[in-house]
Structure 1
Amino acid sequence: MANYKQVNVIDRIQQLYRQGRSQRASAAELGVSRNTVARYLASNPEPPGQTGCHSTQAATKEKGTTCPVLSDEATHGVAQFETDSAEPEATHGVAQFETDSAEPEATHGVAQFESVSAEPEATHGSAVAPASRPPVVDKRSGCAQYASEILAAHAQGLSGRRIYQDLGDAGFTGSYASVKRFLQRNRETSPPVPFRRLIKLAGQEMQVDYGQGAWVRDERGRRRKTHLLCCVLSFSRRIYCEVSYRQDSESFIRGMENAFRHFCGVTATVVIDNLKAGVIRPCNFDPVLNPKCHDFAMHYGTCILPCRPRIPWHKGRVENVVGYVQNNALAGRTFPSVNAQNTFLWTWQDKVSDHRFHGTEKRHVIDMFHEEKASLQPLPASIFAAFSEELRKVHSDGHVEVQGAYYSVPPEYTSQEVWACHDGRHVRIMSKDLKELALHARQERGRTSTAAGHVPPVKVYLPERGSHWLLEQIEKSIGPGARAWGETVVLSRQAAAPKVLHGLLHLRKAHAAATIEFVCNLAITRGETCYQALKALLEERGDKRQPALPFQSEHELIRPLKEYNHLIDYKDIFP
């Protein structure tokens, strides 16, 4: 004999379920646990001994259909329902539903749903469900009367917070959590889109990423954080890793260089993250690399390709490798120095990581590397030269300051920012798009290096060009006699000679070249090397050239002369 109380609880659970109560509310009302309610609904969704509309109401509430009205007569457990045309005939255990066309034929244990166009084919124990799932609405929820508005706004792509704000303007008094629960209950479930596993060729790619290394406790007892650099070949999955105290460009480049030396070759591309040591301006389409990384890639003949910002799975192989190194090699360990940690990592690579069995490829990593090694590019003859880079602004005098010394740049870059890359011997100035502007020898603090051509022509004083250049200009514009006099001036006047030669060129503006040539030959015979003496000889000749005055025969303010012909009587002029 069944427990009467237990049967009543089961019936009550089914009744509350048909009324649309949630499992939480049913458990609170009946004083049982939620697991009990869920267990009875899962094992016996319909109350025993009941058929017809009671079982149909629960289904129709979920399906969005309307339960027909019960008739007063029922025979042999069969419920008859009203139709628009005539009273249907009932058969054993069959409930007939109204249709728009004709009376459906009933079969044992089959419930037929209304159809608009054609009569569905029914099979034993099955029902044809609607094409789309109607919204799930809890009548006790404050969102019940706004269900259509919420679903329409959500279909337009509006967020839950935006929908809640718009409902507040329409008089909604519920909470934001109520709107979230309503959207969660009506969320359309779709199969997840599978990830695409990219296949990389041998020697094609190396992925690089940073993680946190093991702590270092130095001789003073201080705990220092380390940064773990991991490099992995995308084809063979062979690993190289090392730790450092900093994530600057120098440590980043030296780590990649050590990886190439460890692999005895260079890959065609290197995929990195958008860290500041490698990328100065992230971009989905054309990121701007750090100048040092750009030169490093040129030196090794590879191409550095930063992945898209905030999408780490574009370099998923190295992301997994960082976790593998942290959990397998470094977890629970502390080292006295960075060198000790690196020594341990390199030993671990040779003994553990190189001999692991890769589950996807079904091969050992070291065997795949031997296959890939022949596809790697050869290493360059020398290592990458170490240098430092700094972003500097060009001063108003056309120079940039690098560690206390000053170096010139082309005049069109005045007041702009440029990159200054320097080592122990040279200073290279580059624009922000990595175009080389100047190359200088390293100067001591306080010294200035100005390259030829970096001074604007309007700022060049002619004596600065030197006596040799001035003598060539004198011979071109005046003649050989003037050059001969200039050479005597250079021999006798020395440091003052450029200014005197500049004065000789200046005389060309007021005197004819032949006159200056004659006077210079006369000055040579007299032994005169002074500019004032040469000028006095020119004044004695008194043939100072009158500059030609240009006259215009036509102008918009002057009438043509032919218009004055009728005013002139030529007989008076020429009798």
Structure 2
Amino acid sequence: MPARRELTMRQIKQMLRLAHDGVSAREIGRTLGIARSTVQDNLGRATAAGLTWPLDAEVTDAVLEQRLFARAGVKQGMRRLPEPDWPCVIREMRRSGVNLTVLWEEYRETHPDGYGYSRFCDLYREFERRLTPVMRQHHAAGDKVFVDYSGKKIEIVDPTTGIVREAEIFVAVLGASSLTYAEATWTQTLPDWIGAHVRLFRFLGGVPRLVVPDNLKSAVHKASFYDPEINRSYGMMADHYGVGILPARPRKPRDKAKVEAGVRLAQTYILGRLRRQTFFSLAECNAAIATMVERINAHPMRRLGTTRRALFEAIERAALRPLPAEDYAFSEWRLARVNLDYHVEAAGFLYSVPHALIREQVDLRITARTIEVFHRGQRVAAHERRYAGRRHGTDPEHMPSAHRRYAEWSPERFRRWARGIGPETEGLVVAILHDRPHPEQGFRTCLGILRLYRGLDPGRAEAASARAVAIGALTYKSIASILSLGLDRTAPSAEAAPVLLHPNLRGPRYFH
């Protein structure tokens, strides 16, 4: 194969000058933005060609190129093996998750005696060259796990409606062993983000010292180079597992180069190899992803000659911290201020707190089952979370005494009080409550009437109630008037009935 020149002559001259000045190959690579191996290769070529700095005046760029890359331009021999359709290969490479490994495997399925992987790549790069930046970092066992979303989505079809919905792909890679985990979640929101971490730790069977996320909002409330502000709910999850959160620096992808490589690999195995499958549920999709994850971890790594799973079992599993007894239950934290009705709002419903905290700022801890309220670090209220029904969830213990008494009123309770006086009084209470659009609107009327009867002879109270029902006087003032005028002691006048039924009289209901 002809030698391949990727540097300009100006860069090669600068490389020779720096090497002559005693600069190391690593430092030259950093200065020129190239790999150390490239520097060493070109310096070796210069030594073999007898070139030293400073170059002779007759060594022009053309002469320098000829002496360093003597085989450049040598014509390639005839290709005797069947080749793939390269334009089709290039089109497939533009699909999410597809790379040369996937396409080479498919090529070999069609042509078992075809080119090997290395030659296949060489031939492909004649059509399309790609530069892949690399960054080598040393990672101690059990030290870090890098987490991120891939940025590419996987499609899931609703089996009933046929609507296609896209799911996110969460990817995590351990630093030392490169053990990889992936799963699909519907969103990147806080519940899905934290839930993916819980399942990640369960998959690992332990907890590393640090988690290195990107600066998405579910992880970092406020990104900062010096002092990033971690989302509180995310921080509570980290406290539960005893793990530290170390966000990558903003706009510094090399801080999480490990997961960037893991994301590309996961996209190859998940989006590339599963691209022809149709999924009808998130669970079905994750089952297929789990198979691909095991395939990733069981595949030998070329440079190390071992698999990710074997390396994990050998060096990293024992270095992980043990899992807590229970998985973390997702909870969302919010700030709220207590309303004048001593309730706070959470997820569209209202929950009571002790009335002494009116206008105070409190912390809400929201889980799938409970709503907890904290004031200055102390829990002051706990409620079962509501998803339907009445908007208010009120604990009677949180109410002022006067409100508590009012909250205890009910139609049955007023009937019970009235029944203690007599059947006519009970009938009056029933008539009053029935006369109102809502029974609660008659509570105060009933309470006032029962207070009028307090200390009154039961016979007189019964007579007043009977007269009130007979003439339709169902208000507190009407009952008070009957008692003050002594109308309870006289029977209703027979002559008064026609007047009350006269068509010109509107009657009390007209004014309701």
TM-score by length of 2: 0.46
Structure whose CA Rg is larger: 1
More helix by share: 2
TM-score by length of 1: 0.41
Q: Indicate the structure whose relative CO is greater, using CA pairs within 8 Å and at least 6 residues apart.
A: 2
